[in-house]
């Protein structure tokens, strides 16, 4: 059977740059930062003082208060972003199609906030005071589970956990589920809420976070003075469906998803493979899946974490795959504005990627001031660029050596 064409018809987001996709995109194209001093933990307890926190999020706008209390924040973010995406797609889910609507939402860590709160209860008051909802609130798959329950989606219900590649892997896996006919529609992306004492302590201890105390310049991907990533949180969700369904419904089509590559480094638990070898194979695989030559790609939304090795090796990987075209490509890291949303990064960056195609604007890498000889591509420094965008690749790489690449294309008949 010939593979079915799959398109993006809905987007939703909860991010440090706004709690809907439109506000996120407006801030992205105006090169605004969502990073500030951390408030979720006592910053004086840590050597790192900045984070990209979601602000003014009101779960009650999207779910019953009683239901929200049974959800960790990462699940609340996913439910809210999913409801926005389904509404944006103008998709009605009812008994006529529920078993053909899937959910595939990734999360890297799960309910850290719930875990810490319940451990304190256990230590202070014993096991009887631990919530019966502790485990269901904690496990990373519960975002997908609750979205399915809240929206009545009865198709495949899954969660890919691949650290910082979770969102992108989930979208790629969801794309394949629609393409091969498992479902006709799927709600997919990534979610994360990691700004807790233990998560902050762990990333601080491994010296992965920036020690820059100026929030607005702390995330500086590809800049020579980068010194670590800024932890962020939120959710980014897409509605994918068959082209046939989208045309039948008269749905708005943001873009077509045409390629997915996923590889393993088999190298190190946290460091990327030297030279970006695994990342390069994922990019090559995604292009082959999309049946595209490298010269077809206009823009890469890079993983670009603002860490030394990641940015250098991602640059090398791009050169390996794109050759001479690497110098003509626009490559930017929107983590310079959103921070690094860990398991949600691929979801939010996919929302940004399809908007880049839809609006013909390439986002900037902000805080790019001092070029690094090892990072010598066009990183769209500091200001967004108005340009026709036909094909975008979005990269996500995670601890454990997980590499995921997605390819989106402007829809054409």
Tell me the per-residue pLDDT of 280-301, one tens digit each, with 9 for 90 and over: 999 999 999 999 999 999 999 9
Quote the tokens at residue 121: 């209860």
Q: Are residues 178 and 275 in the same domain?
A: no
Pair (65, 98) in one structural domain: yes
pLDDT at residue 413 tops 90: no
322-358 confidence digits (pLDDT tens): 999 999 999 999 999 999 999 999 999 999 999 999 9
Asked whether residue 109 falls in the same domain as residue 234, the answer is yes
**Residue 88 falls within a domain, yes or no?**
yes
Q: Torsion-angle region of residue 200: left (phi > 0), alpha (psi -120 to 50) or beta?
A: alpha
Quick one: pLDDT at residue 2? Answer: 77
**CB contact burial 135-150 (16+ within 10 A = b; e otherwise):** ebbbbbbbbbbbbbeb
Please indicate, yes or no, if residue 167 is contained in any of the structural domains: yes
Q: What percent of the chain clears pLDDT 90, i.e. is strictly above it?
A: 99
Note whether 115 and 138 are within 8 A (CB).
yes
Question: Pick from 360, 320, 352: which is nearest to 336 by CA?
Answer: 352
**Catalytic residue ranges:** 164
239 and 269 within one domain: no
- For residue 38, the enclosing domain spans 6-249
Radius of gyration of the chain (CA): 20
189-242 pLDDT tens trace:
999 999 999 999 999 999 999 999 999 999 999 999 999 999 999 999 999 999
User: How far apart, in Å, are the Cα atoms of 223 and each of 36, 171, 306, 333?
Assistant: 20, 29, 8, 11
Identify whether residues 187 and 63 lie together within a single domain.
yes
Candidates 26, 7, 8; CA nearest to 17 is 26
By DSSP bridging, strand 330-332 and strand 299-301 are: parallel
Total of domains in the chain: 2
pTM: 0.98
pLDDT digits 0-9 by tens, 43-93: 999 999 999 999 999 999 999 999 999 999 999 999 999 999 999 999 999
Q: Give the dihedral of Cα atoms 167, 169, 175, 177; nearest 10 deg.
A: -120
% of the chain with per-residue pLDDT over 70:
100
Indicate whether 239 belongs to any domain.
Answer: yes
For the cut 70, the answer to whether the pLDDT of residue 1 exceeds it is no
Mean pLDDT of 234-252: 98
Q: How high is the pLDDT of residue 20? A: 98
Q: What is the mean pLDDT of the chain?
A: 97
């Amino acid at each position: 059977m010939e593979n079915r064409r799959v398109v993006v018809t809905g987007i939703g987001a909860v991010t440090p740059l706004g709690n809907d996709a439109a506000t996120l995109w407006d801030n992205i194209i105006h090169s605004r930062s969502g990073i500030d001093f951390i408030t979720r933990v006592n910053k004086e307890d840590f050597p790192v003082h900045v984070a990209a926190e979601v602000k003014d999020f009101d779960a009650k706008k999207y779910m019953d208060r009683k239901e929200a209390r049974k959800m960790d924040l990462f699940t609340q973010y996913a439910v809210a972003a999913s409801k926005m995406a389904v509404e944006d797609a103008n998709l009605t889910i009812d008994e006529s199609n529920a078993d053909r609507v899937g959910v595939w939402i990734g999360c890297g860590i799960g309910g850290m906030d719930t875990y810490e709160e319940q451990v304190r209860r256990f230590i202070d008051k014993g096991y009887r005071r631990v919530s019966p909802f502790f485990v269901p609130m904690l496990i990373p798959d519960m975002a997908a589970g609750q979205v399915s329950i809240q929206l009545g989606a009865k198709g495949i219900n899954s969660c890919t956990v691949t650290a910082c590649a979770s969102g992108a892997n989930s979208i790629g896996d969801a794309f394949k589920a629609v393409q091969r006919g498992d479902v006709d529609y799927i709600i997919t992306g990534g979610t994360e809420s990691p700004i807790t004492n233990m998560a902050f302590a762990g990333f601080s201890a491994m010296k992965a976070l920036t020690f820059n105390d100026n929030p607005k310049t702390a995330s500086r991907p590809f800049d020579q003075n980068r010194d670590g990533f800024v932890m962020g949180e939120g959710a980014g969700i897409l509605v994918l469906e068959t082209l046939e369904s989208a045309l039948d419904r008269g749905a708005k089509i943001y873009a077509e998803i045409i390629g997915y590559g996923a590889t393993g480094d088999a190298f190190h638990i946290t460091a990327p493979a030297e030279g970006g070898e695994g990342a390069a194979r994922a990019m090559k695989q995604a292009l082959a899946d999309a049946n595209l030559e490298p010269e077809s790609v206009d823009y890469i939304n890079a993983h670009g974490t603002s860490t030394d090795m990641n940015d250098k090796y991602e640059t090398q990987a791009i050169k390996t795959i794109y050759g001479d075209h690497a110098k003509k490509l626009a490559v930017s890291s929107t983590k310079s504005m959103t921070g690094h949303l860990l398991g949600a990064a691929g979801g939010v960056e996919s929302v940004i990627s399809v908007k880049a195609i839809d609006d013909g604007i390439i986002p900037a890498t902000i805080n790019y001031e001092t070029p690094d000889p090892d990072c010598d591509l066009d990183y769209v420094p500091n200001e967004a660029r108005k340009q026709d965008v036909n094909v975008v690749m979005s990269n996500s790489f995670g601890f454990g050596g997980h590499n995921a690449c997605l390819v989106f294309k402007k829809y054409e008949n």
